[in-house]
Amino acid sequence: MSTKLTSKLMAVVTAVLVTAVLAIYSQQAFGKDDPNAQPQKGPGDMRERVEKRMEHLTKELNLTKEQQEKIRPIIEKEMKDIRDIRQDTSLTQEQKMEKIKEIHQATKAEVNKILTPEQQKKYAEMQEKAHEEMAERRAEHNKNHQHEPGDSNSK
């Protein structure tokens, strides 16, 4: 496999994995275990997701108040930028994925500047675990949504 192809493949895999992390945080914010939970629309929804993500990062990484104050605006900007990209109808799905991947990479780099080396290691582990869980969910989803021969949707 050529280096260029390998690089593109890695970029796609990274984009999928980063998207997985956001999906996990979104599920936490929307109360995935509550069958009556409905996602809110508008700015309140984003504030709630920022809060949930900050709570999670604070708990898992044992963030200090100072770290929390520095990380919060980074997370807020990330979520706003991603929301804006998702709403941009001039972009293809592939372009959106690439831009979102770039945002995630920039966010990770900014957050890592604030973390201690031990926290950086834990943060990387958290992201890897989230990526694995999302890949499992995606595989299960794909398995459950395959059309059988003779299925009315496969005509």
pLDDT at position 34 is 40
Structure tokens at 75: 């997370």
- Min mean pLDDT across 26-30, 45-49, 91-95, 120-124 is at 26-30
Domain ranges of the chain: 10-31+39-130
Q: What is the DSSP string of 20-61?
A: HHHHHHHHHHHTTT-TT-----SHHHHHHHHHHHHHHHHHHH
pLDDT at position 45 is 84
Count of residues for the chain?
Answer: 155
Q: Are 91 and 47 in contact (CB under 8 A)?
A: no
> What value does the mean pLDDT take over residues 6-23?
58
pLDDT at position 2 is 66
Mean pLDDT of the chain: 79
pLDDT at position 31 is 43
Position with higher pLDDT, 140 vs 17: 140
Calculate the alpha carbon distances from 34 to 2, 29, 39, 114, 120 in Å.
47, 11, 11, 34, 32
Structure tokens at 1: 């496999």
